[in-house]
Structure 1
Amino acid sequence: MRLPIHPPLPGQNSPSQVEVVQHNVRHQGFMKFSVMTLRHERFAGGMTPVIERDICHRGYAVAIVLYDPQADMLVMVEQFRIGAFAAGVNPWMLEFVAGMVKPGEDPAEVAIREAAEEAGCMPRDVRRVYTMMPSPGGCTEVVEIFFGVVDSTGVGGIHGLEDEVEDIRVHLVPAETAIALLDGDRVPSGFTLLGLSWFARHRDRMRADYGVV
């Protein structure tokens, strides 16, 4: 997926020229790493000298905010994250359901599938709320964040695909608790932080839309 090219601010023009001199793959595994040498246009005009930049090719992912408006509960998952462990952060993170999108797959359908696999629930009225890049300074990953309504009755337990060595614990988190975690700087996962920020601003409207006063 490619994000649409918009100026940073409405009515603002930005540089647009990039000249790639060389692009070499250095590692191909679960993620691909490459080195690109290039020049790009400067704000004041002209081009930069040739520079070298490392790139992590992370791919395209989705995440989904799963909300039960009747119970005022969010369905969230906890699992081990290697990046957090390597950074010295608690690697068992509370997050929204997320997963990778393969070429040709519909992102909304992937979000629904991941909700079933990771949390044992089936969202309805699924809608896209944001598209974001977690680390555009050196990573190609694009994450599309969705919202979906669920019935949280009976949701919980341990989930995940055994052949992918997934070990995922499902939590029902009261909306007020989740927002308090957000405000208390207790949500380090980027897509979860953004999804919770959106949810906190739109929660009342979501409840009204589904007949909860």
Structure 2
Amino acid sequence: MSNRLTSTLDEVTLSTQPIFEGKIITLQVDTVRLPNGNTATREVVRHPGAVAVLAIHNGKMLVVDQFRQPMGRCEIEIPAGKLEPGEDPKEAAIRELQEETGYRCGEIKLLQSFYTSPGFADEIIHLYVTEELESGEMSPDEDEFLELSEITLDEAYRYIREGRISDAKTIMAVYAWHLYTMTGKFGE
């Protein structure tokens, strides 16, 4: 995301040791040379990237409730999913919105791309927004169980306070939506 080429803070990768290769992520340990000449190790999670959609329908935000194994509980989130190899993020956002909510969108716009945990992972999420929605039929992945609902901005803030919404992409989407309700702009 940065146009910066080099810095006095850059670390040089000396070697990479693959540790794990899964269906979604890989884990590697890099040995790096630090700016002061010393060496250190860095554990790095590689991820193909993801998309998420802030979808506003009749003044409410579309969300899905689903069980999240790492958290051991259900989480209310905006529609989202990982990128397939070589997939255009915009097309992935349109696909994920339809699969998880049944809604098809007209115009869809990129709000922001951001890294989720740059201290150890290269996962980037591309957050899109749409208000042009046409209902259809959900078609989640075979191992994906979701409950779709539409919530108001007040409900979204209440769910954040209650911990029912606690993931960064959804909280970021709520803040962007709030900004939009106040200014008519998504931060452009």
TM-score range, shorter chain: 0.7 to 0.9
Q: C-alpha distance in 1, partners of 2:161/2:128?
A: 21
Cα offset for 1:184? 5.7
Q: C-alpha distance in 1, partners of 2:125/2:31?
A: 26
Check if 1:199 corresponds to 2:177: yes
Aligned partner of 1:75: which letter? L
Check if 1:26 corresponds to 2:4: no
Identify the residue that residue 155 of structure 2 maps to in structure 1: 177
Q: Closer, same or farther in 2 for the Cα pair 1:107/1:148, shift >3 Å?
A: same
Identify the residue that residue 54 of structure 2 maps to in structure 1: 65
Instruction: Render the CA deviation track for 1:159-187: whole Å, top value 9, x for unaligned.
Output: 5222xx11011011122211343456542
* Structure 2 residue corresponding to 1:92, chosen from 40, 59, 74: 74
Cα offset for 1:108? 0.9
Q: Percent identity of the aligned residues?
A: 21
Cα offset for 1:14? 5.0
TM-score, normalising length: structure 2: 0.86
Q: C-alpha distance in 2, partners of 1:142/1:55?
A: 14
Check if 1:55 corresponds to 2:48: no
Is the contact between residue 29 and residue 41 of structure 2 (CA under 8 Å) also seen in structure 1? yes
SS of the residue corresponding to residue 83 of structure 1 reads coil
Q: C-alpha distance in 1, partners of 2:106/2:83?
A: 19
Instruction: Render the CA deviation track for 1:31-75: whole Å, top value 9, x for unaligned.
Output: 11100000232xxxxx2510011111122100010102xx21111
Aligned partner of 1:23: which letter? T
Is the contact between residue 48 and residue 85 of structure 2 (CA under 8 Å) also seen in structure 1? no
* Structure 2 residue corresponding to 1:136, chosen from 115, 118, 135: 118
Aligned partner of 2:179: which letter? R
TM-score, normalising length: structure 1: 0.77
Identify the residue that residue 15 of structure 1 maps to in structure 2: 8
User: Considering only aligned residues, what root-mean-square deviation do their CA atoms show, in Å?
Assistant: 2.5
Aligned partner of 2:34: which letter? H
Aligned partner of 2:2: which letter? P
Aligned partner of 1:82: which letter? Q
Aligned partner of 1:198: which letter? A
Q: C-alpha distance in 1, partners of 2:165/2:65?
A: 12
Structure 2 unaligned spans of 5+ = none
Identify the residue that residue 166 of structure 1 maps to in structure 2: 144
